A and B are shown apart, each in its own frame.
Chain A
Amino acid sequence: MIKEGSVQLDSYRLAQYSVQVPCYICEGGNSFDAELCRHCFAPMALAHQANSQKIAPRIIAAIGASGVGKTVYLGMLMDILSRQSDRLQMLARGAFSITLQQITASALARNEFPHKTPNEPDRWNWVHSQVRSPAHRRPVDLIMPDLAGEALLEEIDHPHTYPVIRSLLSKCAGVLMLVDTVKLQSGIHDQDYFAMKLLTYLIELDNHPKHGWSQRPVGLVFSKADECEECFDDPVAYAKAHSAGLWQHCNEQFKRFQFFAAGVAGGCAYRNLPEGRVRVPLRIEPRGIIEPFEWLIDELRE
């Protein structure tokens, strides 16, 4: 049996569909109700917030090899900044910006590290936040994605595989490059080479002498430094001693760079699972998390 009924014609919707909304990351056109950019899979909420609040957030990224600790670093940074008020303060813009913090803090409180970030860009966590500091009157709006290390490596080896990474790093105002101290300490130099590859990729992306990557700030963070106290004592000396190639590369290619040490876990053990050994933290005592970010923000203000 066929029922008759009236369907309201939402003509205004047709009008809205005819206007393309550019993605904040890749600037590709999207329909107004798209959740993710159809070109690069970045969340369209970033563009909508920028348009509605008439702001132009700056983009920074935490980059580094897979398993270096990007998710833990960003999640912990957000949690610390949202809990303390004497130094920098971070205010999340949009509910989606709290997801990364929530996932990280919940896992660490259970003595686990958060799951590995998937390679698919549509499953990445993005953070849009406003950062205030007592020393500066004007707040800074920031966009920080939690990138997958394997996707980064894939994009470097095969450019244009991940358009979102290329667009994002082109627009980035600065980066925090994470290097695994545990691997460096054990004499494995993969981290060193990967970091140099990434830095070379950045220079190739934009080599303009005035506003290219050579002029943008790069914070080099030795992650998991809790396993190596000497790294905390003097990160620069540690870089010279254990990562000489990276140290030399930065000196030659970048004008604004600084070495830091950071750690979240006080000690680690391994949980034996059917799929293999998984590293678990024995206690959480963050060190050196804020300093690289604080330095980067100060550099961006300049």
Chain B
Amino acid sequence: MRVPKIRKRWAIVGASAAILAICAWIHLWFALGVIVVAGAAFVAKRYRIELRGGKAVAAQSASLLQSVAHAITPRSAADPTDTKGLVEEMLAQGRYALLLRKQVVSNLSDEQFERAREALSESMALVPEGEVALGPIDQALEDGKLDNEELALHEGKIVRVSALFLDRFPVTNLQFKEFVDGGGYEQMSIWDPHIWPAVLDFVDQTGAHGPRMWKHGRCEKGHEQHPVVGVSWYEAAAYARWVGKRLPTDAEWVKAGSWPVPLSPTSRMQRKYPWGDSMDRGRCNLWGSGPGRVVAVTDYAQGVSVGGIRQLIGNVWEWTSTNFGAGALHGGDFSLPSPMKSLRGGAFDTYFENQASCHFQSGEKPVARKHNVGFRCAVSMCDLVLAQVSVTDAVGPAAELHEHDKQEVAA
């Protein structure tokens, strides 16, 4: 049967129109997609350009950087008005010490307070107050005890330390990633103002913010539980502030490791190593005793200190908040090529045993980002509220201690 000519034409026109409509529809969506992607790329690029621009200007004007810092908001998923969500996020990020601060604790529910306290108890060990001998005193400790005459002979000194909590493990890559992802490098308020111009240079191998050995803002796969290394002293200090803690002082670090016990007003017992007075290479990751690289913070559990702190000796050197001074070395007048911060504990590549004792001190430039230097954090006991109290008590001058904590301090 023959189709009438006119109907055939209409069919062709209709089909063409339909095809055109479909094409137009596809093009419309495609164009929209392109616009969205290009817009996102533009915004992202603009964001980076502003950061990089800030880097160039930062050297000339710190105040401009401050304004950049205020303009950048941290990448936080939680709504700032949602207190519960914020607390949950901070607990997940390991910022429990911040929650236990006097100024913050009143915002917590009983359950949240208890969880923060548990996190503190699991992650940090108590170092009781007392005196500790510092200096190159290893030779004087051959018999395990140290009196004031020996101390003076070896250029040592006595320092009094207040009670504090010290991290049981060095800060891991996983923990530090929380800081990086949480916008730690962009919150200028937690960085020392004089280092602002350098913060944008603290990048990983791909130019993203993070430790020197990382790539694309993350550590090597399988190294999540390794201590974070390749971080400067300033990055370590900023992380510590971000989690509501601080870097330990030299005296606090040595006290935690050597665990001094007073024998008389002029004499004391003090350990050379956290486990005792003689080196046992099986208890720490040093040159020749380990695999020749950084290992997970949970390894070498036998090297635990009396207080329950792991890996004080070996694996990675640890930044402390104290300036490295000439008094750290034996005999004579020393000068440093540039100001340094104190390092403690030795690392996986420390060659000599006598350089991996509790009392051996080394130093490094605070901007150095070495492959074998990490850190752990501390928080003073007086800065935390350890028992749920009323708001007025919580913000008072002295924090109340839980009965259990009092017993711990007494012990």
Contact of A111 among B330, B335, B346, B365 (CB under 8 A): B330
The interface residues of chain A lying within 8 Å CB-to-CB of B317 are 266, 283
Contact of B362 among A273, A277, A282, A286 (CB under 8 A): A282
Nearest A residue to B356 by beta-carbon distance? Answer: A283
Q: How large is the interface on A (under 10, 10 to 19, 20 to 34, 35 or more residues)?
A: 20 to 34
The interface residues of chain B lying within 8 Å CB-to-CB of A271 are 329, 332-334
B interface residues, tally (CB under 8 Å):
32
Q: Tell which of B288, B337, B340 has the most Cβ of chain A within 10 Å.
A: B337
A272 in the interface (beta carbon within 8 A) = yes
The interface residues of chain A lying within 8 Å CB-to-CB of B364 are 266-267, 282
A268 in the interface (beta carbon within 8 A) = yes
Min distance, Cβ A276 to any Cβ of chain B, angstroms: 12
A111, B360: Cα distance in complex, Å: 11
The interface residues of chain A lying within 8 Å CB-to-CB of B372 are 266, 285
A270, B363: Cα distance in complex, Å: 13
A-B contact count (CB 8 A): 75
Whether the Cβ atoms of A109 and B334 lie closer than 8 Å is no
The interface residues of chain A lying within 8 Å CB-to-CB of B212 are 229
Contact of A285 among B351, B354, B365 (CB under 8 A): B351
Whether the Cβ atoms of A283 and B337 lie closer than 8 Å is no
Whether the Cβ atoms of A283 and B332 lie closer than 8 Å is no
Contact of B352 among A267, A273, A284 (CB under 8 A): A284
A84 in the interface (beta carbon within 8 A) = yes
A83 in the interface (beta carbon within 8 A) = yes
Contact of B363 among A84, A109, A269, A284 (CB under 8 A): A269
Nearest B residue to A272 by beta-carbon distance? Answer: B333
Nearest B residue to A286 by beta-carbon distance? Answer: B351
Nearest A residue to B360 by beta-carbon distance? Answer: A283
The interface residues of chain A lying within 8 Å CB-to-CB of B340 are 267, 269
Contact of A277 among B335, B355, B370 (CB under 8 A): B335
A179, B3: Cα distance in complex, Å: 94
Whether the Cβ atoms of B349 and A109 lie closer than 8 Å is no
17 contacts between A and B (CB under 8 A): A109-B354, A110-B330, A111-B355, A267-B362, A267-B363, A267-B364, A269-B334, A277-B335, A280-B329, A280-B334, A282-B364, A283-B317, A283-B343, A283-B350, A284-B352, A286-B287, A287-B349
Question: Could you tell me which B residues sit within 8 Å of A by CB distance?
Answer: 212, 287-288, 317, 326, 329-330, 332-337, 340, 343, 346-347, 349-352, 354-355, 360, 362-365, 369-372
Question: Could you tell me which A residues sit within 8 Å of B by CB distance?
Answer: 83-84, 108-111, 229, 266-273, 277, 280, 282-287
